[in-house]
Structure 1
Amino acid sequence: MSEHVERAPVACPSCSPDRETVHEVLTTGGGTATVRCTECGHTHKAPLEDENTVEPTVVVSQDGDSFTATVEMPGDERVEKGDEFILETDDVIMQVRVTAIEVGPEERVGRADAGDIDTVWSRAVDNVSVPITVHPRDGEGDGTRSLDLQLPGDEEFTIGETYEFGEEEFEVEAIHVRDSAVANYDFQKLGHEGDTVLAKDVKRVYGIDKSSKAWSAW
C-alpha cells in the first residue's frame, strides 16, 4: 500500500538551485508542496509529481467466508500470485496472500502491474484454520479423526515433532502444502523428518495420535 510522501528530491533555491537535494515534505495541496531542505533548512514551495495510484478490488477469503475491499497501490507496482500485503479497511487490518489475479472477464494471470488489474483474489493469512487428520497409533483406538485448529499464520509444524492442543496430542508424519505456497518448499507433499511448514501454507497436516486416550484400554 502507498504511504504519504515524507521526503522528495527537489532543487533548493537557497543552497542548490542547480541540483536536487533531499527535502522533507511539510504540506501538500493545489499541485504544490511546502518542503524543507535537509541540507540548509530552507523552506519553500515546490511542485511535486503525484504518484500514479490505482485501487483494484480485493476479494478476501477467510474460513469459508469472503468480503470485498479495495487497496491503494502504485499503478506500476508488480503484483504476483503468492505475494502478501497488509489490507486496511475501516473495519479490519489483516495480512492477506494473493491467490489469483484477474485482469479481465474470466482472465486470470500469475502476475501483472497493479494498473492492469481488475480484481485481486486473496486469503487472510495472519490467523488461519489448519485441517489435521490424526491416525490411530498402530491401528489402536477408534480410528482416524479430523481436527480443525485456529492458529496464527506464522505457527510452525515440523515433521517428527509432537504437538499438544488442549486434550489433543499428535506427532506430525506428513504435511500437504497449499498450491499458493508450493514455490516456498521443495515439494507439495512433505514427509521427511525435520521438514517445517508455516500454518498459513498448510493444506492439511497428517499426524499419529499421541493423546492419553490413544493408550486407554479398550
Structure 2
Amino acid sequence: MKREIYCDSCKEETPHVLINPSKHLFQCEVCGSVMEVLPEKRVELRAIISRDDVSERGKIEVPRSEVLTKGEEVVVEVGEGYRVGEITSLELKNGKRVDVASAEDIETVWLRDVGEVKVRISLHKGPVTTPYEIFTSGEVEFTVGEILPVEGRKYKITRIKLINGGLLKKEGRSAKAKEIRRIYAQFIR
C-alpha cells in the first residue's frame, strides 16, 4: 500500500510505502525514513435520505475529522443496500442546522436521493398541458432542443427549470436529472 504522507525529514508530503501493517509503519520513498501512521478513527452518522415524500433511515461512516458540506454527494447504507445522496442539511448535536461541519460534531445528515430521481415534465399540445413523470438515474442528461418520445408522440424540450432556481432556454444547454425541477416540452408533428 502506497500513500502520500508528510515526511518530517523531507519537510513535505512524499510517497510512503507500508512496510509493517500490524505496527502501521510507513517508509518514505524519497529519504528512506520510517514513521508510524495510525489510522484515523471513523464515526458512524445517522442519515435520513428522502426520495420525493418518502424518507428512509440509514448511516454514513466517515473519518472523524472529515468535513461534510451541503451539496456534496455521499453513499448512504440503508436497510437493503446503498443509495447515493446529496447532502441538503447537517444537524449538529445541539440541534442547530448548518451547511458545513466536521463529522465529529454532526448528529444527523439529511440527504436527497440522487441515484434514481423523479423528473417532472409538462407536455404542451396546443392549449392543453399534461403533467408527466419519469424515473431515471440522477446522472442522465436532458438538453434543450432534445426530442422526447412519450407514449408514441414526440415532444421537443423547450425549457428546463433547475432546482437551484435557474432556467435553461437556449438550445443545446443541458442539465442532469438530479439538478432538474421540471422540464417543459412542446408537441411536434
Q: TM-score, normalised by structure 2?
A: 0.79
Shift of the 94–26 alpha-carbon distance from structure 1 to 2, 3 Å rule, reads farther
- Contact 2:120/2:182 (CA < 8 Å) preserved in 1? yes
- Contact 2:19/2:27 (CA < 8 Å) preserved in 1? no
Deviations 1:124-180 (A, max 9, x none): 1121111111111x43xxx211111011111111112211244353111111111xx
Match for residue 16 of structure 2? 22
Unaligned runs of 5+ in 1: 12-17, 40-45
Unaligned runs of 5+ in 2: 30-34
Match for residue 162 of structure 2? 177
Bigger Rg, structure 1 or 2: 1
- Pairing 1:128–2:122 present: no
Match for residue 166 of structure 2? 188
- Pairing 1:61–2:61 present: no
Question: Which residues of 2 match residues 32-47 of structure 1 at below 5 A?
Answer: 32-33=23-24
> Residue 172 of structure 2: SS of its match in structure 1?
coil
- Pairing 1:162–2:140 present: no
Percent identity of equivalent pairs: 26
Deviations 1:17-41 (A, max 9, x none): x88972326644xxx44x57586xx
- Contact 2:60/2:75 (CA < 8 Å) preserved in 1? no
Shift of the 148–168 alpha-carbon distance from structure 1 to 2, 3 Å rule, reads farther
- Write 1 or 2 for the structure with the bigger share of strand: 2
Query: How far apart are the structure 2 equivalents of 1:156 and 1:9?
Result: 39
The count of aligned residue pairs is 182
Shift of the 175–105 alpha-carbon distance from structure 1 to 2, 3 Å rule, reads farther
Deviation of the 1:194 alpha carbon: 2.0
- Pairing 1:209–2:162 present: no
> Residue 97 of structure 1: SS of its match in structure 2?
strand
Shift of the 125–26 alpha-carbon distance from structure 1 to 2, 3 Å rule, reads farther
Deviation of the 1:10 alpha carbon: 11
Shift of the 26–148 alpha-carbon distance from structure 1 to 2, 3 Å rule, reads farther
- Contact 1:85/1:96 (CA < 8 Å) preserved in 2? yes
Query: How far apart are the structure 1 equivalents of 2:68 and 2:26?
Result: 34
Once structures 1 and 2 are overlaid, which stretch shifts more, 106-115 or 193-202?
106-115
Match for residue 78 of structure 1? 67
Shift of the 174–90 alpha-carbon distance from structure 1 to 2, 3 Å rule, reads same
Q: TM-score, normalised by structure 1?
A: 0.70
Deviation of the 1:206 alpha carbon: 1.2
One-letter amino acid of the counterpart of residue 23, structure 1: V
Match for residue 146 of structure 1? 131
Question: Which residues of 2 match residues 2-21 of structure 1 at below 5 A?
Answer: none
Match for residue 176 of structure 2? 198
Query: How far apart are the structure 2 equivalents of 1:62 and 1:23?
Result: 43
One-letter amino acid of the counterpart of residue 139, structure 2: D
Shift of the 105–134 alpha-carbon distance from structure 1 to 2, 3 Å rule, reads farther
